[in-house]
Amino acid sequence: MKKILFLALALCLMAGTAVAADTIKIGLMAPLTGAWASEGQDMQQIVELLADEINMAGGINGQKIEIVTEDDGGDPRTAALAAQRLSTQGLVAVIGTYGSAVTEASQGIYDEAGLIQVANGSTAIRLSEKGLNYFMRTCPRDDEQGLVAYKALKNGGYKSIAILHDNSSYAKGLADEAKTLLEKDGANIVFYDALTPKENDYSAILTKMKAANPDVVFFTGYYGEAGLLLRQKMEMNWNVPFLGGDATNNPDLVKIAGKEAAAGFMFLSPPVPQDLNSKEAMAFMTAYKKKYNAEPGSVWAVLSGDGLRVVAEAIKATGSTDQDKLVAYMKNDLDNFPGLTGQISFNDKGDRVGDLYRVYKVSADGKFMLQP
């Protein structure tokens, strides 16, 4: 009996999602619950803010946009369902998502549905090497960052290097990429291992790493762990320089580590809007602060905003919502579009092109300073 009720209820819910034809519907797939909920909720805030702005200004070619958000839970199985759900709702494109493995689980589904996906935080190389026509991303790839990390470490003149990752698909990819390049160059990798994310005590790892006596530590994981590592490193009176990957780019890092411990920490990242003096970036910062009374969290959430802006631009320029036309426009004709994170162009694989990465350093008062 309950099962019949369940089915009936399911049917009712589906009936409720009838389509209103006069709006342009754009999907957002984001981790609203689960371990990456902070990123996902930030993505939602930013995309909704930008959509509201576009609608206030009269929409795209007179049509309003409507954002349809689905939770991917930060896990592949939920993401596959979210993708199925989004691909049946008459959308023009889907923005998202954050984790590479999560994006991968949804890629095939969007491609089969002929739906454009603009990922914002998924940097794993292979995502764009499969020849999927409708896949694009506003974030750079791991190999690009690996190269930048290699250069930064080399320019620093470090001889013995410790590399620490967190065994996530993203962090391990970056660590491997940098390790290969550094070893080819004859650098001495004295330590290479993975920590368990979401723990609180990394003193055992730091003690072990200290014994290996590296000149520098390259940590490719996320800001939460990076903050704790810095804090506990200081408590041990260990003064080794730390370099972080782009997942450490989050103001919460300084909060967790404390200003004293965070000072001098360097990381690689695409530039955040705070550091760009373009008209778009400044307008976005003002609007975000006004609406949410805070600064946007990580650059990844901002990149989802860029995803929406790129799609909107393509619809406006082509005057069409045909997926093939839009993809062709974004890959071929969109050139140096002024994004919130610098200029945006895509190559044929759907990857964002250009030298995106910058080196940042945390100043004594906890600010992220863009290094020349």
Partner 1 sequence: MKDKRLVIYAVISVVLLLSPLFLNAYWVDVLNNVGLYTILALSLNIILGHAGLFHMGHAAFYALGAYTTAIINTTYHIPILWLLPVSGLVAGLAALVVARPIIHLRGDYLLIVTIGFVEIVRIALVNNVFGITGGSNGIFGINRPILFGWKINKPWEFFYLIWGFAAVTIFLFNRLENSRFGRALNFLREDDVAAEGSGINTAHYKLIAFVIGAFWAGMVGNIFAAKMTIIAPESFNFWESVVLFMIVLLGGRGSIRGVILGAFLVLGLPEIFRQFATARMLIFGAFMVAMMIFRTEGILPPLPRKYPIAKMLGREGSA
Partner 2 sequence: MELFIQQLTNGLAVGGIYALIALGYTMVYGVLKLINFAHGDLFTIGAYLGLTLLTTLGLTNYLGPFGVVIVLALMVMGLVAIVGAALERVAYRPLRQSHRLSAVVSALGASIFFQNAVMLIYGARYKVYPHDILPRTAIHIFGLDIPLIRLLMLLTSIVMMIGLYLFIQRTKIGTAIRAAAIDQGAAKLMGINVDRVIMIVFLIGPALGGAAGLMVGLYYGQINFTMGWLYGLKAFTAAILGGIGNIPGAMVGGLLLGVIEAMGAAYISIAWKDAIAFCVLIIILIVRPTGLLGERVAEKI
- Residues near partner 1, by CB under 8 A: 1-4, 6-7, 9-11, 13-14, 32-33, 37, 41, 69-71, 75-77, 80-81, 84-85, 87-88, 101, 104-105, 108, 124, 126, 167-169, 172-173, 194
Size of the site for partner 2 (CB under 8 A): 33
Instruction: Read off the tokens for 58.
Output: 């009269």
Instruction: Read off the tokens for 291.
Output: 């609406």
Pairing relation of β-strands 358-362 and 342-344? unpaired
Detail the DSSP E strand segments found in the chain: 23-30, 64-71, 93-95, 116-119, 135-137, 160-165, 188-194, 216-219, 242-244, 266-269, 337-339, 342-344, 358-362, 368-370
Query: Which of these ranges, 88-96, 206-214, 284-292, 337-345, lies near partner 2 under the rule CB under 8 A?
Result: 206-214
- From candidates 112, 129, 185, 235, binder to partner 2 by CB under 8 A: 235
Strands across the sheet containing 368-370: 188-194, 160-165, 216-219, 242-244, 266-269, 358-362, 368-370
Euclidean distance between CA atoms 181 and 91, whole angstroms: 42
* Binding partner of residue 20 among partner 1, partner 2, none, CB cut-off 5 to 8 Å per kind: none
* Binding partner of residue 38 among partner 1, partner 2, none, CB cut-off 5 to 8 Å per kind: partner 2
Task: Choose between 45 and 249: whose C-beta lies nearer to partner 1.
Answer: 45
DSSP state of 359: E
CB of 367 to partner 1, least distance (A): 31
Euclidean distance between CA atoms 139 and 159, whole angstroms: 30
Phi and psi, residue 65, nearest 5°: -105, 150
Task: Choose between 45 and 345: whose C-beta lies nearer to partner 1.
Answer: 45
Residue 369 is a binding residue for partner 2 (CB under 8 A): no
Is residue 65 within 8 A of residue 26, CB to CB? The reply is: yes
CB neighbourhood size of 80 (10 A) = 18
Task: Choose between 43 and 326: whose C-beta lies nearer to partner 2.
Answer: 43
Phi and psi, residue 120, nearest 5°: -120, -20
| Site track for partner 2 across 245-284, x = CB under 8 A | -------x--xx-x--------------------------
Strand, coil or helix: 230? helix
Which residues in the 292-331 window bind partner 2 by CB under 8 A? 297
- From candidates 126, 198, 289, 316, binder to partner 2 by CB under 8 A: 198
* Binding partner of residue 205 among partner 1, partner 2, none, CB cut-off 5 to 8 Å per kind: partner 2
* Binding partner of residue 75 among partner 1, partner 2, none, CB cut-off 5 to 8 Å per kind: partner 1
Nearest partner of 206 among 175, 174, 237, judged by Cα: 237
- From candidates 18, 20, 200, 277, binder to partner 2 by CB under 8 A: 200
Residue 48 is a binding residue for partner 2 (CB under 8 A): no
Chain residues that interact with partner 2, rule: CB under 8 A? 33, 35, 37-38, 40-41, 167, 193-196, 198-201, 203-205, 207-208, 211, 224, 227-228, 231, 235-237, 252, 255-256, 258, 297
